[in-house]
Chain A
Amino acid sequence: MSALAERPANPVVGLNAAHESAKLHVTGAAMYTDDLAAQTVGTLTAWPVQSTNAHARVTIDVAPAYDVRGVVRVLTAADVPGINDAGIKHDEPLFPSEAMFYGHALVWVLGETQEAARLGAEAVRVEYEPLPSYITVQEAIAAESFQGIARTVVRGDAAEAMAASDRVFEGVTEFGGQEHFYLETHASFAIRDSEGQYFVQCSTQHPSETQEIVAHVLGIPSNEVTVQSLRMGGAFGGKEMQPHGFAAIAALGAKLTGRPVRLRLNRTQDITMTGKRHPFHIEWKVGLTADGMLQALEATLTADGGWSIDLSEPVLGRALCHLDNAYWIPNVHADGRIVKTNKTSQTAFRGFGGPQGVFLIEDILGRVAPALGIAPADLRRRNFYRQGQSTPYGQLVKDAGRIEAIWSELLADSDFAARTAEIEAFNATSPDLKRALAITPVKFGISFNFAAFNQAGALVHVYKDGSVLINHGGTEMGQGLHTKMLQVAATALGLELHQVRLAPTRTDKVPNTSATAASSGADLNGGAVKNACEQIRDRIAKVAGRLLDVDERDVRFEAGRVSGLGKPGSLAFADVVNAAYLQRVQLWAAGYYRTEGLHWNPDIMQGSPFKYFAYGCAATEVEVDGFTGAYRVRRVDIVHDVGDSLSPMIDIGQIEGAFVQGMGWLTLEELRWDESDGPHRGRLQTQSASTYKLPSFSEMPEEFHVRLFERATEDGAVYGSKAVGEPPFMLGFSAREAIREAVGAFGPAEHSVELGSPATPEAVFWAIESARAAASVLDGAVENTATPATDAAGGPPPVRETVDA
């Protein structure tokens, strides 16, 4: 086993630990960015003037705002001393002269109170000179409104293999985006300190990049800006790129007024201004053998990037790298491209394109299984990767056997066969309610595709009394990263958990950090924390060796005591530390970690971009109401691979939360934009919690069993663990496939169910109507349905078999 993965005796990692801030959370004592602002005297509030046009040149008269009592300053493009851009690609003007989407912030008003700032913003006069706009992906494709670099993944000869396939199907798969709906909206709070430097508190996953953007907007070097991310009230990718501009507005306001400035978006502003998960439109063609073995896949994936490029290129890259999910597809040709539309700039969201890629293959398998006459679970299983096979982008699928192992354990755990029989019996006597049990796998690559991001730093201080303070570059958004880092530090130094404390993430402690993203937080920062702790431990081991009369290599650190191998007695960690101090031994260290063995060529989309893969399987049972299309999730069973867990309760929390969030995307959460040519073209119609519905208690599975895959050591990650944040999001596909199968039970066995996405009750109802129609056609009965389903739902055209040998 590697030194990185090996655990000492009685490690603190692997124990259940409550979130390190749990007691603060439950009492309301945990502070978030805007809570700090609320308690700072003299703080000004920033409020945006938002475009009411999807695409237009704008002329802005801010003078009337100054007539509003309490308005202090209106920030405009003329105020920017540095670069007027909120991003790193220089296509996101902070103060635009052209409104690029409905809701685009044009200028910002600073007021003594929120009320003053809001009224000031209302007073600003904006004249619009409308320009052509693209709201739907189809409009943008038709207009050839593309952005970024198109990419292609190729393996083998898909066309030739397609021609040789027994069965060929083609179709279109379309699905919507997803609003992050972190409970804490974007917030920044900037102060210019006594030395003229900027201290920006920001709800950001990427403090270093926030720092860089603030610096370039203000036209100052990075060393004059410190960004702190205390904790976030959720982020899910939505605070990876999007916070920078808001932080820059607050800092610019602080510069121009000399006063603290808070900027907190309300929910409507947040939903209408910030990016979301990318919707995709995919055309595909698949070839299989008669017994269901995948032979060839051709696909064109079009991602809706919104108004700026943002993270669309890497998101598309990850989608292309995940359209195989857990399946061996010998011949693949997949083109990916990004359209530019006049909507919010779509961005990172848990899974980062992975879910969009997985959607394609799971949708295909779910749709073609009835035509093949193979049970969907069997069709999936027979196509799993086997040991020694590689992905279409050329990476060996490490530990591929775990897919089958997890799958078979889950079949047993979930009592799959017996329940499938029970469900068949239930459905046979239940005309209006149908049930189904579906099982789906996930394989997800871990590491940033962009190799340079796979590095991290940490700063660990041991004080003379033996107490430890750790700092690292990762941010806490609820995922429990800080808790895991405390466990890693306690393990590396042989301490008890309470002996280690963690200080907030700030750019003046650890510089040049990567975003806490790609599920990599614990892998990267854990490696760095461990490295720093081991530097210190090795130094004080020398001191302890002398005290204990053993070689330094025979010193052991455990539970706050230091002992010598084979020697009686032990010393308190604090006593050894104090002795080390007196001997002038350095008691702090900067730690560093880089992930070894990664390489990736984006131009040909080939290489080994991932350190390893995380695996999991979920089995979900649903019941669908034939009268309404409404459904209930009756039971969910999950077995998921987190390596050797650093913190089991936290990992299970991540798996459950990701599952429900993924299920929300697939079944409930619906972004609706005004696609008409009316005055509100481009306006997001679901811009509040009352119209954009995320899962509530009623969507929680009635039975919910999550188990971690055992004996799962990952040799390439800290203490043998695996990343957990994103992979289980894709376990939600089991819910969508279960709904599909339950809908199928309303029709003939060979009926291919087209399910709109999200599969809202209405979308499910139309699918049921199609299934019933297929049944009545089969019965020779007169079709008795009211409306053509797919037209009304705006759903995709049906799957079409083009060759049937």
Chain B
Amino acid sequence: MHDIVVTVNGLARSLNGIPTHTTALDWLRETGLPGSKEGCAEGECGACAMLLATPTPDGGTAWTPVNACLVPAAALNGQEIVTAEGLGGPDDLHPVQAKLAEAGGSQCGYCTPGFACSMAGEYYRADRAPQEIGATPDVAATATEHDAACPAGADGRPAHDAGHDAEHGPNGFDLHALSGNLCRCTGYRPIRDAAYTLGSPEADDELAARRLRPAPEPVPTDLAVDGNRFVRPGTLDEALRMLHDEPTAVLVAGSTDWGVEVNLRGRRAPLVIAIEQLDELRGLEIGDDVIEIGAALPLSEIERRLDGRVPLLAKLLPQFASRLIRNRGTIGGNLGTGSPIGDTPPALLALGARIVLASVDGEREVDLAEYFTGYRQTVRAGDELIRAIRIPLPLAPVTGFHKIAKRRFDDISSVAVAFALDIRDGIVVDARIGLGGVAATPLRARATEAALIGRPWNIATVRAASAVLRTEGTPMSDHRASSEYRSLMLGTSLLKLYSTTVIESKEVSA
């Protein structure tokens, strides 16, 4: 067997002999790189963030921040990663580290290495578009107005002038890049200031230069330790054959769900099959009558490549967990777990998506509305994997996505509602509504759809349909929300959608 080797901060390190369930985080810490921290072990806090060299569509490399606590170390065979230690040292700070340090961006410092990595990922994002020269000093200038006693540059608010908004800096920095990193000390303002004053990489920046060369190729892997195996098949056929022989094998792509099971619930699997680097699962094709999205394409890659082409997904994706999770998480994984509170199912149901299941016997296509059969149960057979989803075209012209959660970034839905309506000449001619969090499975709000179709799109119709929508599903009470609130949120979601589609929104007041 070949050595299993990962390039960490430019140097090769062997993975031989580690238990197959070992996370990248534990492995890094045990091999003398304790800069990455464990804050939650479930991909919520980002203290473990590291940069992974991933392929870009143009054949180059992106430095993609991911949660090291969720990635199996064995999945990194042949890959390249960079940790906070690799960005720079105390005497040789990386620009991101220098900005964080001087802005007061660290207090206790425990979350800081993860922030540095997430921030570096955004620093190196190829399409991050800096503003015109002079934008950065403006930040400091606007700061002084209210904050004469504040240290220079320490104030918060860049003005709402052209080119940036509440979630983007004048240098093009997207604050969502930090949505998966929690800090309990600072209140975030100095971290934002550090991010918004970053420049662009210098000409001699090695990590910037690395982007121009191809990312590491997938390396077929078969690691067996103490009776457990981690396998990365080289081809889809190989994966399907293996799944045919071992239908109870655990399939992992981003491992953002399985990693939590391993870390928090102590689950161990005799066989884990990694499929996220299979070409057949990573396509994204926009045809004349269908958009096909590979099941193992990371969600942020989908977001970037669709670039608003599917408005409903464009509304959903920024609300799906955090950027750190979206950099690994996939549609296949979100559908594969069959969870009733996944965020993609309501949207895909509203889009009328179909799911492509592959096995050694070939492929079959299933309407997503027929896919879920019970709590975390689906029609997928043990020897099948989700290869892709297909979204029929044309898209419905009116769409909305309403996610109810305690927190705006990085939370799990109490209720999620997706709407796709076709309204012509003031009449609703078609309606698909997908719901999450209100039953044992994601579901279509069929009764509500019926209450809308064929009726004029006005407040009377919407009020009547809203009353129907409120009764769909059988929501329960738990630590996220009460059943009563969940039901009411279904109803108000339609009113809210209506208020955004009509100018005279004050008529909508409930």
A residues apposed to B, CB below 8 Å: 16, 18-19, 21-32, 34-35, 38-39, 115, 118, 122, 180-185, 231-236, 266-268, 413, 429-432, 477-480, 626-628, 630, 632, 637, 648-650, 652-653, 656-661, 668, 670, 672, 685-686, 688-691, 693-708, 710, 760-762, 765-766, 772, 784, 786-787, 792-793
CB contact between A233 and one of B110, B505, B506 (< 8 Å): that residue: B110
Assuming the contacts A27-B87, A792-B485, asked whether A648 and B156 have C-beta atoms less than 8 A apart, the reply is no
Write the nearest CB–CB distance from A187 to chain B, whole angstroms.
Answer: 10
A413, B485: Cα distance in complex, Å: 39
Q: Is the interface of A mostly helix, strand, loop or mixed?
A: loop
Do A760 and B110 have beta carbons less than 8 Å apart?
no
Segment of B32-40, B131-139, B363-371 engaged in the interface with chain A: B32-40
Closest Cβ neighbor of A648 among chain B residues:
B151
Contact residues in B for A39 (Cβ distance below 8 Å): 32, 34
Tell me if B399 counts as interface (CB < 8 A to partner A): no
Do B108 and A231 have beta carbons less than 8 Å apart?
yes
A-B contacts, CB under 8 A, total: 310
Contact residues in B for A235 (Cβ distance below 8 Å): 108
Do A652 and B107 have beta carbons less than 8 Å apart?
no
Interface string of B154-194 (1 = CB under 8 A from A): 11110000000010000000010011011111111110100
Contact residues in B for A35 (Cβ distance below 8 Å): 29, 34
Do B187 and A18 have beta carbons less than 8 Å apart?
no
Do A693 and B157 have beta carbons less than 8 Å apart?
no
A118, B149: Cα distance in complex, Å: 52
CB contact between A688 and one of B44, B184, B186 (< 8 Å): that residue: B44
Contact residues in A for B343 (Cβ distance below 8 Å): none
Assuming the contacts A16-B151, A19-B109, A661-B184, asked whether A628 and B102 have C-beta atoms less than 8 A apart, the reply is no
A271, B264: Cα distance in complex, Å: 13
Do A31 and B409 have beta carbons less than 8 Å apart?
no
Closest Cβ neighbor of A632 among chain B residues:
B408
Contact residues in B for A656 (Cβ distance below 8 Å): 186-187, 189-190
Tell me if B465 counts as interface (CB < 8 A to partner A): no
Closest Cβ neighbor of A479 among chain B residues:
B107
Do B112 and A25 have beta carbons less than 8 Å apart?
yes
A752, B334: Cα distance in complex, Å: 44
Tell me if B101 counts as interface (CB < 8 A to partner A): yes
Contact residues in A for B93 (Cβ distance below 8 Å): 23, 26-27
CB contact between B34 and one of A38, A632, A690 (< 8 Å): that residue: A38
Contact residues in A for B61 (Cβ distance below 8 Å): none
Tell me if B14 counts as interface (CB < 8 A to partner A): no
Contact residues in B for A23 (Cβ distance below 8 Å): 90-91, 93, 97, 101
A696, B409: Cα distance in complex, Å: 7
Please name 15 pairs of A and B residues whose Cβ atoms are closer than 8 Å in the assembled complex, sorted by A: A28-B36, A28-B113, A122-B266, A184-B108, A185-B39, A430-B506, A627-B496, A648-B149, A656-B186, A656-B190, A668-B406, A686-B479, A694-B184, A699-B407, A706-B155
CB contact between B481 and one of A31, A658, A660, A762 (< 8 Å): that residue: A762
Write the nearest CB–CB distance from A135 to chain B, whole angstroms.
Answer: 14
CB contact between B185 and one of A413, A478, A630, A710 (< 8 Å): that residue: A478
Interface string of B369-409 (1 = CB under 8 A from A): 00000000000000000000000000000000010111111
Contact residues in A for B478 (Cβ distance below 8 Å): 685
CB contact between A19 and one of B40, B104, B479 (< 8 Å): that residue: B104
A233, B410: Cα distance in complex, Å: 22
Contact residues in B for A122 (Cβ distance below 8 Å): 266
Contact residues in A for B19 (Cβ distance below 8 Å): 115
Tell me if B150 counts as interface (CB < 8 A to partner A): yes
Tell me if B148 counts as interface (CB < 8 A to partner A): yes
Q: Which of B175-217 contact A (CB under 8 A)?
A: 175, 178-179, 181-190, 192
Besides A26-B93, A660-B187, 19 new A-B residue pairs in contact (Cβ under 8 A), listed by A number: A23-B90, A26-B97, A26-B106, A26-B113, A27-B85, A28-B36, A39-B32, A184-B110, A233-B111, A413-B146, A478-B110, A479-B107, A627-B493, A627-B496, A628-B492, A656-B189, A660-B188, A688-B264, A689-B42
Do B34 and A28 have beta carbons less than 8 Å apart?
yes
Q: Which of B16-39 contact A (CB under 8 A)?
A: 19, 29-30, 32-39
Contact residues in A for B88 (Cβ distance below 8 Å): 27
Write the nearest CB–CB distance from B131 to chain A, whole angstroms.
Answer: 19
A701, B110: Cα distance in complex, Å: 23
A762, B481: Cα distance in complex, Å: 7
Contact residues in A for B181 (Cβ distance below 8 Å): 697
A327, B366: Cα distance in complex, Å: 66
8 smallest beta-carbon distances between A and B, as pairs:
A28-B35, A478-B108, A233-B110, A25-B109, A689-B44, A660-B187, A698-B408, A28-B84
A480, B185: Cα distance in complex, Å: 11
CB contact between A183 and one of B29, B39, B412 (< 8 Å): that residue: B39
Q: How large is the interface on B (under 10, 10 to 19, 20 to 34, 35 or more residues)?
A: 35 or more
Do B109 and A21 have beta carbons less than 8 Å apart?
yes
Do B186 and A653 have beta carbons less than 8 Å apart?
yes
Contact residues in B for A16 (Cβ distance below 8 Å): 151
Do B404 and A628 have beta carbons less than 8 Å apart?
yes
A235, B185: Cα distance in complex, Å: 10
A562, B19: Cα distance in complex, Å: 62
A181, B183: Cα distance in complex, Å: 10
A60, B97: Cα distance in complex, Å: 50
Do A765 and B479 have beta carbons less than 8 Å apart?
no
Tell me if B277 counts as interface (CB < 8 A to partner A): no
Do A28 and B85 have beta carbons less than 8 Å apart?
yes
A766, B484: Cα distance in complex, Å: 10
CB contact between A480 and one of B107, B156, B484 (< 8 Å): that residue: B107
Do A22 and B89 have beta carbons less than 8 Å apart?
no
A16, B499: Cα distance in complex, Å: 49
Do B39 and A628 have beta carbons less than 8 Å apart?
no
Closest Cβ neighbor of B180 among chain A residues:
A696
A39, B29: Cα distance in complex, Å: 8
Interface string of B480-510 (1 = CB under 8 A from A): 1110110111011101100100000110111
Do A38 and B182 have beta carbons less than 8 Å apart?
no
Contact residues in A for B105 (Cβ distance below 8 Å): 26
Write the nearest CB–CB distance from A430 to chain B, whole angstroms.
Answer: 8
Contact residues in A for B102 (Cβ distance below 8 Å): 18, 22
Tell me if B81 counts as interface (CB < 8 A to partner A): no
Among A27, A232, A761, A766, find the residue whose CB has the most chain B CB atoms closer than 10 A.
A27
Among B42, B109, B404, B508, find the residue whose CB has the most chain A CB atoms closer than 10 A.
B109
CB contact between B192 and one of A27, A231, A670, A697 (< 8 Å): that residue: A697
Closest Cβ neighbor of B494 among chain A residues:
A627
Contact residues in B for A185 (Cβ distance below 8 Å): 38-39
A742, B508: Cα distance in complex, Å: 19
A760, B414: Cα distance in complex, Å: 12
Closest Cβ neighbor of B493 among chain A residues:
A627
Do B184 and A693 have beta carbons less than 8 Å apart?
no
Do A707 and B149 have beta carbons less than 8 Å apart?
yes
Tell me if B41 counts as interface (CB < 8 A to partner A): yes
Do A694 and B182 have beta carbons less than 8 Å apart?
yes
Contact residues in B for A784 (Cβ distance below 8 Å): 510
Assuming the contacts A234-B185, A693-B407, A760-B406, asked whether A431 and B508 have C-beta atoms less than 8 A apart, the reply is yes
Do A705 and B89 have beta carbons less than 8 Å apart?
no
CB contact between B39 and one of A477, A649, A657, A689 (< 8 Å): that residue: A689
Contact residues in A for B71 (Cβ distance below 8 Å): none
Contact residues in A for B406 (Cβ distance below 8 Å): 668, 670, 693, 760-761
Write the nearest CB–CB distance from A533 to chain B, whole angstroms.
Answer: 25
Closest Cβ neighbor of A631 among chain B residues:
B408
Tell me if B238 counts as interface (CB < 8 A to partner A): no
Tell me if B229 counts as interface (CB < 8 A to partner A): no
Closest Cβ neighbor of B266 among chain A residues:
A118
Among A180, A266, A661, A762, find the residue whose CB has the most chain B CB atoms closer than 10 A.
A762
Closest Cβ neighbor of B482 among chain A residues:
A792
A694, B33: Cα distance in complex, Å: 28
A23, B508: Cα distance in complex, Å: 54
Do B184 and A25 have beta carbons less than 8 Å apart?
no
Assuming the contacts A19-B107, A183-B184, A696-B409, asked whether A652 and B35 have C-beta atoms less than 8 A apart, the reply is no
Do A181 and B264 have beta carbons less than 8 Å apart?
no
CB contact between B187 and one of A26, A700, A703 (< 8 Å): that residue: A700
